[in-house]
Amino acid sequence: MTPSKLPTLPDGSFTRAQAKAVEAAYDNVTIENDKNFHFQLVIRDGQGRMVWRAFNFDHEAGYWLNRNLEKYGVPAR
């Protein structure tokens, strides 16, 4: 997948389907703390340390996740 075709999230809250699309597109993004309706999308660095996380309902969650994906995201091969 080329960087221009990588999925992004809406600036605010996001759905599970949107989160799964991003998770599948990046090697270092996972869905965690899954409480069925509420969950977190987490970005980790090469050593497995958390870089950024947000619950799917957080204010501006998608905006900040997209910004951190640009900087830290590792596209899936």
pLDDT tens, position by position, 5-58: 899 999 999 999 999 999 999 999 999 999 989 999 999 999 999 999 999 999
Q: What's the CATH class of domain 3-72? A: alpha beta
pLDDT at 41: 98
Give domain limits for the chain.
Answer: 3-72
Neighbours of 24 (CB within 10 A): 12
- DSSP lists the bridge partners of residue 75 as 26
Q: Are 52 and 63 in contact (CB under 8 A)?
A: no
Which residue, among 38, 9, 33, 10, has the nearest Cα to 21 in the 3D structure? 9
The CA distance from 15 to 57, in Å, is: 9
pTM (two decimals): 0.91
Predicted local distance difference test score (pLDDT) of residue 1: 53
| pLDDT value, residue 6 | 96
Per-residue confidence (pLDDT) for residue 3, from 0 to 100 = 55
